Amino acid sequence: MSFADIAGREPVWLDGSGPYSQIVISTRVRLARNLRGRHFTHHAGEAELAAIRQEAGGRVLDRPAFTAGGEVVLADCRAHERKFLLESHLASPDLVRDFRHRGLLFSADLRRVVMVNEEDHLRVQVFRPGFDPVATCGDALALDGELEEVLDFAWSDEFGYLTACPTNVGTAFRISVLIHLPALVLTNEIEKILNSLRQLQFTVRGLFGEGSAVRGALFQISNMGTLGRSEETITNDFTRHVSKVIQYEKLARDGLFERDPDGVRDMAHRAFGTVRGAWLMTSTEAFDRLSHVRLGVCLGVLPPLPMGQLNRALVEMQPAHMQVNAGAAIKGRERAAARAAYLRKLFA
């Protein structure tokens, strides 16, 4: 199956539905799993990595959850196609960076995606739109049960699932949200909130995970420790604390508009006018403008645009998406022109 097959699918978790969808774009659960009797990825040779990809790919795609899905072999993709998968939040920076014998297994709606031979043999990912930790956890554990019927995972009665990184040992369960916090950024309250989360043992990162910059007031929040904690405990703790962040953002939005309604209207309408009328736009500016448009829509000072349309814009205006859509190598000014044309058409 070729890259074009996955590129033509729209991830269901971008559709703008789900609880608190004006603030939380998506919820993701990730499970790290390794095959018993195999070396961890960073110690495995070329032949073993190839064998792992072949074994995992064949058995995962045979599961009911992956009916009508497929596999993308990273080595068969061009550089901008691999970056496209990263921009779509289907692949990680590590998978894209070292792509030999790496694969991506996906369900028909891209709700379930498995990275093969990343840091661990399998990184099982399950997505839902909006803020839905409990349901996403249930989806992930159900899928894990399906996979355990056909794959023998490395397990210790003392420690739990064995993983390449010690911080994942135990349940090897990570839950995260992609969350939009523009009002907390604009009111200079964001650092206080993020520092509190870090003290509570949560990781806060930019749009593309570890080491990435924050763009458009978009953050990834995830749990840290997994050893000695059940999936239910982790999910409940995560739900409680991220719910507080959502409430702080809602209060910040109300307060921002109450203190300076004309300033908020001006910011939102300027951004809306730019995305509807610009002829050149960098990705950095696009993230900022779309963030302000999204905030204006949520506060009711702009037309009621669908959240799914705004979510798609955040993904599809990125560099590799522009290149894939153009069907040719474009960069610099040409790409800025293509991005502006895409946004003009989307928001016409």
φ, ψ of residue 204 to 5 degrees: the values are -120, 125
pLDDT (0 to 100) of residue 22: 97
Domain match, 331 and 235 both:
no
Of the candidates 197, 224, 253, which is a domain's last residue? 253
What does the pLDDT read at residue 47? 95
Token output for 343: 């946004």
- State whether 278 and 248 are in the same domain: no
For residues 247 and 326, state if they share a domain: no
- Are residues 18 and 145 both part of a single domain? yes
- Both 40 and 84 in a single domain? yes
Q: Measured between alpha carbons, how far is 247 from 186 in angstroms, rounded to an integer?
A: 16
Q: Do residues 70 and 5 make contact, with C-beta atoms less than 8 angstroms apart?
A: yes
Residue 117 sits in the same domain as residue 62: yes
CB burial string 199-224: b at 16+ within 10 A, e below: eeebbbbebbbeeeebbbbbbbbbbe
Verify that 234 and 323 share a domain, yes or no: no
pLDDT score at 15:
95
Beta bridge partners of 204: 221
Q: Out of 221, 253, 285, pick the residue that ends a domain.
A: 253
**The pLDDT value given to residue 5:** 87
Domain range for 65 is 3-253
158 and 63 within one domain: yes
Asked if 277 and 194 sit in the same domain, the reply is no
Residues 141 and 201 in one domain: yes
**Shortest CA distance to 305 belongs to which of 340, 343, 267, 333?**
343
Number of domains in the chain: 2
pTM: predicted TM-score of the whole model, two decimal places:
0.94
Q: Kindly report the CATH number assigned to the domain that includes residue 195.
A: 3.30.590.10
Q: Which of 189, 220, 253 is the C-terminal boundary of a domain?
A: 253
* Average confidence (pLDDT) per 10 residues, the chain, 348 residues: 85 94 98 96 94 93 94 94 94 91 95 96 98 98 96 93 90 96 96 94 77 80 87 96 98 97 98 98 96 98 96 95 89 94 95
Same-domain check for residues 242 and 328: no
Shared-domain flag, residues 92 and 183: yes
Question: What are the tens digits of pLDDT across the range 114-156?
Answer: 999 999 999 999 999 999 999 999 999 999 999 999 999 999 9
